[in-house]
Structure 1
Amino acid sequence: MSRNHRIWFPGAKYHITNRGNRRSSIFYDDFDRDAYLQLLGETRSYYPFYLHAYCLMTNHIHLQIETIHHHPKDMMKMLNSRYAMYFNKPHLLVGHVFQGRYGAELIDSSDYLLDVSRYIHLNPVEAKMVKSPSDYRWSSYSAYISDSVNPHVTTKKILSHFPEPQKENYRKFVEGSLNITPSSSKHN
């Protein structure tokens, strides 16, 4: 039986998830995470897209992307196959690294765009890996709340929903220390 085709159009935004086969770890160490980010960058050079947020957990990933001219299936096929080849070789493994088809939730509103970004950045906190999302090195959160540059992510679209000071207000939105209502009604 064939699978349903995913909705796609230029400019479509998605929350993409992918889990390790049998919920196994897909990152054993920081070298693996660095390699994944490098391969993500290489994939973006073949299939350009905007990466708004990401988080690399131990056994799964979260990516918040916006397409330009390519369906996410092309991007994910290249990224997953290249990462599987990378991962299996040094760890002396064979077979699938990822469990089934990647998940892709279409983001259909500004509110959902912001909610997904917050969810992704809070993932390590919810997993009790860190107390604050700023303590987790393997997400895009620091690019949103500090002056640190992250070549993988673009923060402009999401931060545009917040009043000045945008980075501080985004931090408050994510960490829940202040009830902020982003100016989302004027953006899509």
Structure 2
Amino acid sequence: MSRKHRIWYPGAKYHITSRGNRRAAIFYDDFDHQAYLEILEEVRNYFPFQLHSYCLMTNHLHLQIETIHHHPKEIMKMLNSQYAMHFNKRHHLVGHVFQGRYGAEIIETAEYFLEVSRYIHLNPVEANMVKNPHDYTWSSYSAYISNDLNPHITTSKILSHFPEPQKESYRKYVEGADAPSKHHS
């Protein structure tokens, strides 16, 4: 039985997830998190894409990406395999790091695009790792609500859906579950 083909077209947006094999940790420490982000940038040199938000949890990760010219399977194959090689070598392990195929849910509406970003940024709060999403180091949230620069992400598309002051409006949307007052496609 063959796997269902994933929908793809240039400019398609996705909520990507990858989980550790048997739900095991895929990040042991800050060095692993940083290595993942460095590998992500190397992969982006081969297969350009926009990263709108991310959250690297202990045993799984979330990426909100927008493709340009490459199917996410090319991006994720290289990203997951390169990171798995790093992880296994660094921790003297063998075998699978990730559990099965990555998840890729296509994002087709502006509302869902914003909901995915909020969901990703609230993930550490929902997991009771932090009380406030800006307290979690390994997500893109602080770049959305402060002047912290994050070279891995593009905030403009998501923030364009919010009234001025955009960063404060986005913070209220994420932390207070307010709906944005203006929507663009």
TM-score of the alignment, normalized to the shorter chain, above 0.5: yes
Query: Secondary structure of 1:105's match?
Result: strand
Which residue of 2 is the match for residue 59 of structure 1?
A: 59
Which residue of 2 is the match for residue 173 of structure 1?
A: 173
CA contact (8 A) 1:40 1:79 kept: yes
TM-score by length of 1: 0.97
Distance in 1, matches of 2:81 and 2:11, equals 24
- For the aligned residues, what is the CA RMSD? 0.8
CA contact (8 A) 1:169 1:180 kept: no
Which residue of 2 is the match for residue 2 of structure 1?
A: 2
In the TM superposition, 1:31-110 aligns within 5 A as 31-110=31-110
Distance in 2, matches of 1:50 and 1:70, equals 11
CA contact (8 A) 2:55 2:140 kept: yes
| Identity within the alignment, % | 74
1:183 is displaced (CA, Å) by 1.1
Which residue of 1 is the match for residue 14 of structure 2?
A: 14
Counterpart code for 1:93: L
Uncovered stretches (5+) of structure 2, i.e. residues with no partner: none
How many residues align structurally?
185
CA contact (8 A) 1:27 1:58 kept: yes
Change over 3 Å in CA distance of 1:66–1:182 after alignment to 2: farther
Distance in 2, matches of 1:137 and 1:172, equals 19
Query: Secondary structure of 1:14's match?
Result: strand
Which residue of 1 is the match for residue 154 of structure 2?
A: 154
Query: Secondary structure of 2:69's match?
Result: coil
Query: Secondary structure of 1:150's match?
Result: coil
Uncovered stretches (5+) of structure 1, i.e. residues with no partner: none
TM-score by length of 2: 0.98
Query: Secondary structure of 2:116's match?
Result: helix
